[in-house]
Chains A and B, each alone.
Chain A
Amino acid sequence: METIKCELLDNCENIIISKSAFQYARSLIEASLDPLVTISTKGKITDMNEALTKITGKTRKELTGTDFSEYFTDPKKARKVYKEVFAKGFVENYPLTIRDHKLTNVLFNGSVYKDVEGNVLGAVVVARDITEQNRIEKELILAKVAAELAQEIAEKAKFIAESATQIAENAVKAKQQFLSNMSHEIRTPMNAIIGFTKVVLKTELSVKQKEYVNAIKMSGDALIVLINDILDLAKVDAGKMTFEQIPFKLSVSLAAMLHLFEPKIQEKNLILRREYDERIPDVLVGDPVRLHQIILNLVSNAVKFTTDGQITVSVKLLREDEKNVSIEFAVTDTGIGIAEEKIEQVFENFQQAYSGSSRLYGGTGLGLAIVKQLVEPQGGSVSVESELGVGSTFSFILPFKKTDKKVELSPDIVELDEEMTNIKVLVVEDMALNQLLMRTLLDDFGFECDIAANGKVAIEKLQVKQFDIILMDLQMPEMNGFEATDYIRKTMKIDIPIIALTADVTTVDFAKCRAIGMNDYITKPVDEKVLYTKIVALVKKAQSSNGIETLETDLIQEVKCIDLEYLIKRTKSNPKLMAEMIALYLEQTPPLIEAMKKSFNDKDWILLYASVHKMIPSFSIMGISTDFEDIAKKIQEYASTQQFSDGISQMVLQLESICVQACRELEIELNKIKNNE
């Protein structure tokens, strides 16, 4: 009895336990987030957990008994799943998509369940939601691809950046080169334009003409200022701006500069005030030319932008020790002023505070950029204070060295000296444009001017004419300035003052000029005033020291018409080659003379032209004066235009006689060469 009771109790307990175990299992299944479904062998849903109802959005009731495959986007594939389950007894990781509101991707795992006898009752299928997995996978792939792409892009960008840097560097260099070249190239013709405009202005012109020519000159001047500005900037950019260290008097320098602005300031009815700190040492060491440029830019800006009121230029001693001083320069105006947000920009290239101001006030916007570039490399600083409509103060601080040296006073600007108007100047210069320029300048001074294209021509001219002074270019073809000067001093023994002209200040060796016997030098582009001062000073000096001697130089040597120097130089003194050349000349020339004479008498202009034409090159080869070459060219011109002129017969005779003389002299030379062999 006891035992039965106990068994019953045990059974009851077992039932209770198994019931609670079932409930426990059920709660586990319900708690799973993965949808879980049991299907009958027919494919109908028999049971499911909470997750399936959630994912399908249907109640248990609705789901039970429906076809399992209906809930998937691809029912055919879904049917395959359950067929596989029942065929193989299980299915693993079978991908399907549940047709819910967001088409959840799932993987199916399932197996059949059987009764005690082993008959298949249905299948339990678990669908694992792999949306998140897929998303992460996709994101990973995307991230990977993106990373690769990014790396590629980065490499490309690096390459592009490197080549861009290279291009930029090259471009900057090219720009500098271009600017500097263009400025030089433009400056040369501009000098001629302005020079000749000045000449025209001195002639008699109608009022209208004068107005027009003045307009040309003003435009030209403006253009030159612009070009100089550009050149300066290009120099700064290229690091070619050099600063001199020479003693100068600051007060004098400043006064001279402000003097330049007086007419303009009076014209605009402004007041110019100067404040000069008397404690500043008299003589300072620095670059006065650059200082001029800086102040010039600032004051001309002040004048330009001020219509009413005053301009103050103040110079203050900031610091002083044993060797150095620091000086602050300030230019204050009562002009239009600069808005606060624009102040930063004014020192940049091609910037004006207002885009419209260049139209209104003119200018290129380069002035202040240049000021900055001129001050900072010298160890100084620039600053600006301004209030719109009230005015601006531009100031800069520059260091200078102190010195005990005295300043060599540069010659003051000489007013045209009435007595010194008939100076005869010989300009030795090969470039046609420079020849014209020099002629222009010398005409301005009222000097007489003769041009020789090279040293050799100059010597020829010196042999037949007297000059007061020579302006000698150093670089010339045929015979350069040094050679010519040497010849004039040593061979011709003429004391005439010689001024060297040179385009390149950096390469000129003035010691060499002096040693060879030159008196002074001038750098190109030639400054009108410097040129005038130096010419007058040297001529005056020469006249007072050897007033009597000059008479004697009038004696002109009897010269041979030929000069074999060219031939000797060209053949390197090779007697055989020289003999060949001379023989050729002797062979070719007499028939040409005959042809010339005959064609002239026959009025056969074509033949006359041809024979004279052929003679021309021989003159320079045999060193016959270019005067005869000019004569030949004139005959040629007459012949080609068939203009008869009385002078022509005279010229034909001259050519004949010189050629005959040359032949005679050359025969002697030829014999000499032959005898020496």
Chain B
Amino acid sequence: MNKKDKILIFLVDDDALFLKSLAIEFSQFEDFEIQTFPTGELCIKNLTENPAVIILDYHLNGVDLNAIDGIETLDAIKLFNALIPVIMLSSQDKIDVAINCMHHRAFDYVVKSETAFIRLQQIIENIFHYQKIEKQLGWYMERM
């Protein structure tokens, strides 16, 4: 499979350890090409590369308090291109956090845990499934 066919995924997290572990897990799948960013700012700068999916930490300004947080990054991504699906990650298993993410048009919300990767995988599959359905719908709508 050549590089062009791969699905480009952005991983954004200021927790280097978790970022690395996710990157390792994704790297085991041939169809994904992974780019990691420790800050939201860097992620936004590279949006022109047109990632298929962005996985974004909710709490991005944990260490550097002046950095922009996940929601701000999310808004900036949606401003750039509202169609890029963004999956939010957080170690907080809190409903308000999840709702907040959804209000800012995140595609889904995943709690950082051992099963996070499996969940992410399923969600990414879902994203492509939805995109396919939407494409089909568009096709039919055009013909109606």
Contacts and interface: CB of A to CB of B under 8 A. Distances in A.
Contacts of B18: 617-618, 621
A421 interface: no
Contacts of B16: 584, 587-588
A600 to B, nearest CB: 16
A445 B134 CA distance: 51
A32 interface: no
Interface string A572-593: 1000010011001101100000
A572 B28 CA distance: 9
A581 B21 contact: yes
Interface string B106-135: 000000111101100000000000000000
B63 interface: yes
Contacts of B65: 606-607, 610
A478 B112 contact: no
B118 A477 contact: yes
A606 to B, nearest CB: 8
Contacts, number: 65
Nearest to A591: B63
Residue from B17, B20, B65, B92 having most chain A Cβ neighbours under 10 A: B17
Contacts of A581: 17, 20-21, 24
B138 interface: no
Contact of B15 (A572, A580, A588): A588
Residue from B24, B112, B114 having most chain A Cβ neighbours under 10 A: B114
A638 to B, nearest CB: 14
A206 to B, nearest CB: 32
B75 to A, nearest CB: 21
A614 B21 contact: no
B91 A611 contact: no
Contacts of A577: 24
Interface string B59-70: 101110100000
A456 B21 CA distance: 19
B20 A613 contact: no
Contacts of A584: 16-17, 20
A587 B61 CA distance: 18
A566 B114 contact: yes
A613 B114 contact: no
Nearest to B93: A633
Interface in A603-628: 606-607, 610-611, 613-614, 616-618, 620-621
B36 to A, nearest CB: 12
Given A613-B91, A617-B15, A580 B59 contact: no
Nearest to A477: B115
B31 interface: no
Interface residues of B, number: 23
Interface string B96-114: 0000000000000000111
Contacts of A621: 17-18, 21
A616 B115 contact: no
Contacts of A456: 114
A124 to B, nearest CB: 71
A580 B91 CA distance: 22
Interface residues of A, number: 28
Given A613-B62, A618-B17, A478 B114 contact: yes
B30 interface: no
Given A478-B115, A572-B28, A611 B20 contact: no
A616 B91 contact: yes
Residue from A606, A607, A616 having most chain B Cβ neighbours under 10 A: A616
B79 to A, nearest CB: 26
A188 interface: no
A533 B102 CA distance: 46
A15 to B, nearest CB: 93
A580 B20 CA distance: 8
A585 B59 contact: no
Interface in A420-445: none
A466 to B, nearest CB: 25
Contact of A614 (B20, B28, B62, B113): B62
Contacts of A664: none
Contacts of A580: 20, 24
Contacts of B91: 613, 616-617
Contacts of B62: 610-611, 613-614
Contacts of B15: 588, 614, 617-618
A617 B22 CA distance: 11
Contact of A477 (B21, B25, B114): B114
A570 interface: yes
A456 B62 CA distance: 30
Contacts of B112: 616-617
A570 B24 contact: yes
B55 to A, nearest CB: 13
A623 to B, nearest CB: 9
Nearest to A586: B17
Interface in B16-73: 16-18, 20-21, 24-25, 28, 59, 61-63, 65
Contacts of B115: 477-478
A635 to B, nearest CB: 13
Contacts of B24: 570-571, 577, 580-581
Nearest to B14: A614
Residue from B18, B21, B28, B113 having most chain A Cβ neighbours under 10 A: B21
By Cβ-Cβ distance, the 4 closest A-B pairs, closest first, are: A610-B62, A616-B91, A617-B18, A617-B112
26 contacts: A456-B114, A477-B114, A567-B21, A570-B25, A571-B24, A580-B20, A580-B24, A584-B16, A587-B16, A588-B15, A588-B16, A606-B65, A607-B65, A610-B59, A610-B63, A611-B62, A613-B59, A613-B92, A614-B15, A614-B63, A617-B17, A617-B113, A618-B15, A618-B18, A620-B114, A621-B18
Given A613-B92, A636-B92, 7 more contacts: A580-B20, A584-B20, A587-B16, A588-B15, A611-B62, A613-B59, A617-B17
Interface of A: 456, 477-478, 566-567, 570-572, 577, 580-581, 584-585, 587-588, 595, 606-607, 610-611, 613-614, 616-618, 620-621, 636
